[in-house]
Structure 1
């Protein structure tokens, strides 16, 4: 079982704030992964995704929740996260 975190931008968020915050978000996910935080993969969906959404795959719900709790995108109100349990049938 893996856990997928889906991020979407809240209505009315200025995308320039997302771009300004991205360097802190990047430093955070790199540190999280280096610390063995259970992060398998992370990244945005490509255009023409109108919601500016992204997703991450985690090895446990606890890791997913811990990631969300400290991510600048969520702490600064720039992402609305949702956690889904993913029943992996095949994973390379």
Structure 2
């Protein structure tokens, strides 16, 4: 079971996103290096939102606990969904 984090950009948040992206990216890179974040990216109709796939719910919670995008109002709404990957290796 994987866990998917979905972010929707807050209204008029693009300047905030640009300001806080370096710290957000550092956090993404750290979680990926630790093997907790499997993939992440924005949707093609950006700046609507993004999706990240984590190995556990605990990893999602840890990520969100200190994510600059959440703390500085870049994210308007977010949700976490359990995802049962069918094509597992």
TM-score, with structure 2 as normaliser:
0.86
* Coordinate RMSD, CA, aligned: 1.7
- Where does the alignment leave 5 or more consecutive residues of structure 2 unmatched? none
C-alpha contact (below 8 Å) 2:16/2:73 kept by paired residues: no
Match in the other structure for 1:20: 19
Report how many aligned residue pairs link the two structures.
88
TM-score by structure 1 length?
Answer: 0.83
User: Matched residue of 2:25: which SS?
Assistant: helix
Please list, as runs of the form range in 1=range in 2, the aligned pairs for 1:41-52 lying within 5 A after superposition: 41-47=39-45, 49=46, 52=48
Of Structure 1 and Structure 2, which has the larger fraction of its residues in strand?
2
Shift of 1:37: 5.2
Gapped runs of 5+ residues in structure 1? none
Whole-angstrom distance in 1 between the partners of 2:88 and 2:43: 19
